[in-house]
Structure 1
C-alpha cells in the first residue's frame, strides 16, 4: 500500500510539474485589409507589445501550418538587449492570420541567409554600402569629402545616394570591394553579377535630400558619423549623422536611420531634421534622356531612363502623411538637375522610401511594370498590416 501511494504521488507530481511548466505561447493576429495577398512585408514585435523583458529565445510559428518562420532580432540602441523581433508573414487577401510567439531553441530555428547586409568600407575611402537580395546602395563619408577639399584624386563630395545595380540575390558588397583591393577587377564592369555604372556626383542620386530656397536647392555634404544597427535575413539598418548645413540662411540639422528589408527595392529613410518645414528628396536626371512621371494621389515620383545597355527606374515614395507633390528641376549646371518629391517635415521628422529597378536584373522589364510596382508599394505602406494580440 505504501509503495502504491509513493508511486501515485510521484506520477501526480510529474503531471503537475508538466502542466505547471507548460511553455507560454503568445498569439499574434496579423490583419490584411487589402484585396490582395501580402508577402515580403515586415512585422515588428517589440518587448512592450509582447509584454516581455527578453526576446532572445523567441521565435514565430504559423498557427495554421505549424511551421516556424525565419525571424530576426534587433538591438536598436546597442545596449546588448534585443528590442524587436521581426518576421515576414504571408497573409491572404482581406483576411486575418494568427502566429504564435514562443520559445525556440537554436536547433529548431529555420536556417536562413543574411541577405540584408551593410557595412562601413574603410578600404574604399569611407563608403557606407548596403544591400538585400534585389538592390544595393552606398553613401560617402568624411574622408572622401576631405580628399575633394584638399584636391586629392579619388574623393567624392556628395550627400547623394549611389545605386549599385546587382542581378544576383546573394551578397556582393564584400566581393566587389575585394576586387578593387586585390586589383583583380572593377565593380564598374559587369561580369555577371551586375555593376556600378550609376553616376551620382553632386546630384541627389536616389533619395538624397535638399531644401528649396530663392536661388535654387541647397544640400549638405557627406555623412560625418555612422553606426550599424542590424544585419540579417530580414533587415539591415544603420544610422548616419551630418554636419549642420546652410539652406538660404537657415541652419539645417540632419541625421537619419536608413533600413532595407528582404524582397524590397525601396530603402526606408527616417530622417530627423531641424531648420525647415519641408524637404525635397531627389532623383538625378543624368543626361536627361529619360522620363519623369509621378502620381500625387499615390505619393510617388519616378525617373525611368536608359543606362548602359539597359534601362533603370528610380523613385521616391511616401505616405499621404508626408507627400506634398513632385516637380522637375532642370538646369544646365552639371549634376544639379533632379526630379524632386516635396515632403512635409512633421515633428522634426520625415519618412520616405527611395529605390530602383534595373531592367537587366530581370524583375522590372519596362516603365509600366516599374510604375505598377510603385503603385503596389504605395498601397501597402498606406495600408500597413494591422498587428494585435489575441485576448
Structure 2
C-alpha cells in the first residue's frame, strides 16, 4: 500500500500539511521509493522535505550521513540536507531538490550509500554579522536580504553615527549565483560603503529606513502604522546547501504589547523568503499588516487580492526592481498604497486577520541580475508563486 500526503510549497520550499490516504510506510533495507507529482501546467524546481519518521526503518540500519537520494534508475546522487529544527543533534527532515516538468511525475529512491556527493558553490547562507554592528543577513543563488539588531538601534537612540532603527527588510541586489555576504562585508570593513557601489557582482542601493522594506510588519490603526524596533535576539537553525533557516525575536511593541518571533527561511533557486510569524499580544490586535516601501512614490503598484499577491515595480539607478508579497488570500482583509508626506512612511500595506500565526512570502527580482526583464516577467513570477502555494507538489512514499 502507499502512503499519500501533500506538501506546503513555495518555489524551493515544502512542508508536510496533510495526508490523502493512510497506511504504514513500507521500506526495504535497500531504500525507500518516493513519487513526486506536479499538477500545475508549468515546470517547477523546488526543495522537498521528507520527515524523519518516514525514514525510520532505513535509519535503523544506517546513519544520517549515509542517506542518499537519486532519481530512480539513475546513478547520480542529488544534493541533500538535514534540518535539525530542535537542535537535539538529530535531523528532523531530509531535503532534496526536484526539477519536475509540468503535469508530470518523477520517482526518487532514498538509499544508504557512502559514495561522496559532489559539493557546489551554489548554496544558501545566513549569519549574524558583528563586523557591521549587528546585521543579520541571508542569501541564496538569486537574492540576498538583511535586517538590523539591537546595537544598531542603540546607536540611533543615543544619537551616535552608524546605527539603523528599523524592523524593515533590506534587499541586496546580486547578479552572481555564488555567496557574496562574507565577501561584501569584509570589503566594506576595509572600505566603508563598499557594497553600496557596483563592482561587478551587484550592490546595495535599496533604502529601508523606517519603512517596511520588503516584508516588514506592523499594525495599522487610525491612519498610522505601529511597528517593532530592531530584533533583540537571533537563532541560526540551518545554512545551505538547499535551505537556510533562522529566527528573529522582537521586544514587545505597539500599544497592544505584541510579542513577535519571525522564523525565516530561504531555499535554493527561490526569489522569496518564507516568513512564519508567531505572535501573542496583551490585547486583541485589530489586524496584522505587511508592507512594501514605496520609496519616492514613483513606482507602479499592483494589488491582486483574489490570488493573494501584491507588488511594487520601481526604477533604482539605471535598472528596475520588482518587490512582492504572496500569501493565502483567505486571510486578507484589505490592501492599499498608503501615500504619506512623512519620510519612509509611504508603503503598500496588506492588512490580515490571522490567529496568532501567519505565513507569507516576500521577495524580489532585479533586472540587473537578468532574472526578469520587465514588470510583466515579475507579475508572472508572482502568479506562479501564488499557484504553487495553492497547489503544492504531491508526494507519495512507497
TM over 0.5: yes
Rounded Cα–Cα distance in structure 1 between residues aligned with 2:206 and 2:173: 8
Rounded Cα–Cα distance in structure 2 between residues aligned with 1:70 and 1:325: 41
Of 46, 51, 55, 1:50 maps to 55
Instruction: From the superposition, tell whether residues 337 and 171 of structure 1 become closer, same or farther in structure 2 (CA, over 3 Å).
Output: same
Shift of 1:288: 0.6
Q: TM-score, normalised by structure 1?
A: 0.89
Which residue is 1:38 aligned to?
Answer: 44
Whether the aligned pair in 1 keeps the contact of 2:220 and 2:351 (CA below 8 Å) is no
Of 203, 208, 216, 2:216 maps to 208
Q: Deviations over 1:183-213 (max 9, x none)?
A: 2761000011111110000000010001111
Of 75, 84, 100, 2:84 maps to 75
1:182-197 alignment, distance < 5 Å? 182-183=190-191, 186-197=194-205
Shift of 1:114: 5.2
Helix, strand or coil at the partner of 1:201 = coil
Which residue is 1:264 aligned to?
Answer: 270
Which residue is 1:15 aligned to?
Answer: none
Rounded Cα–Cα distance in structure 1 between residues aligned with 2:106 and 2:363: 30
1:1-391 alignment, distance < 5 Å? 23-39=29-45, 41-52=46-57, 55-105=64-114, 107-113=115-121, 115-183=123-191, 186-246=194-254, 249-275=255-281, 276=285, 278-346=287-355, 348-390=356-398
Rounded Cα–Cα distance in structure 1 between residues aligned with 2:249 and 2:396: 34
Rounded Cα–Cα distance in structure 1 between residues aligned with 2:167 and 2:371: 29
Whether the aligned pair in 2 keeps the contact of 1:306 and 1:312 (CA below 8 Å) is yes
Rounded Cα–Cα distance in structure 2 between residues aligned with 1:142 and 1:250: 21
Q: Deviations over 1:65-90 (max 9, x none)?
A: 34311111111122211111101112
Shift of 1:25: 0.6
Helix, strand or coil at the partner of 1:118 = strand
Whether the aligned pair in 2 keeps the contact of 1:254 and 1:274 (CA below 8 Å) is yes
When the two structures are aligned, how many residues end up with a matched partner?
364
Rounded Cα–Cα distance in structure 2 between residues aligned with 1:196 and 1:94: 39
Whether the aligned pair in 1 keeps the contact of 2:141 and 2:269 (CA below 8 Å) is yes
Helix, strand or coil at the partner of 1:36 = coil
Rounded Cα–Cα distance in structure 2 between residues aligned with 1:147 and 1:330: 29
Ranked by relative contact order (alpha carbons within 8 Å, sequence separation 6 or more), the top structure is 2
Q: TM-score, normalised by structure 2?
A: 0.88
CA RMSD after TM alignment: 1.6
Which residue is 1:6 aligned to?
Answer: none
Whether the aligned pair in 1 keeps the contact of 2:137 and 2:181 (CA below 8 Å) is yes
Whether the aligned pair in 2 keeps the contact of 1:56 and 1:82 (CA below 8 Å) is no
Whether the aligned pair in 2 keeps the contact of 1:299 and 1:325 (CA below 8 Å) is no
Rounded Cα–Cα distance in structure 1 between residues aligned with 2:332 and 2:89: 36
Please identify which structure carries the higher strand content.
Answer: 2
Helix, strand or coil at the partner of 2:152 = helix
Helix, strand or coil at the partner of 1:42 = strand
- Unaligned ranges ≥5, structure 1: 1-21
Instruction: From the superposition, tell whether residues 101 and 189 of structure 1 become closer, same or farther in structure 2 (CA, over 3 Å).
Output: same
Shift of 1:382: 1.1
Rounded Cα–Cα distance in structure 1 between residues aligned with 2:77 and 2:329: 35
Whether the aligned pair in 1 keeps the contact of 2:67 and 2:111 (CA below 8 Å) is yes
Instruction: From the superposition, tell whether residues 307 and 198 of structure 1 become closer, same or farther in structure 2 (CA, over 3 Å).
Output: same
Whether the aligned pair in 2 keeps the contact of 1:320 and 1:382 (CA below 8 Å) is no
Please tell me whether Structure 1 or Structure 2 has the larger radius of gyration of its CA atoms.
Answer: 1
Rounded Cα–Cα distance in structure 1 between residues aligned with 2:352 and 2:169: 18
Helix, strand or coil at the partner of 1:89 = strand
Instruction: From the superposition, tell whether residues 326 and 133 of structure 1 become closer, same or farther in structure 2 (CA, over 3 Å).
Output: same
Between 1:73-82 and 1:117-126, the stretch displaced more is: 73-82
Q: Deviations over 1:113-155 (max 9, x none)?
A: 3520111000100000011111100000000000011111110
**Could you list the runs of 4 or more consecutive aligned residues of structure 1 that deviate by over 4 angstroms after TM superposition?**
none
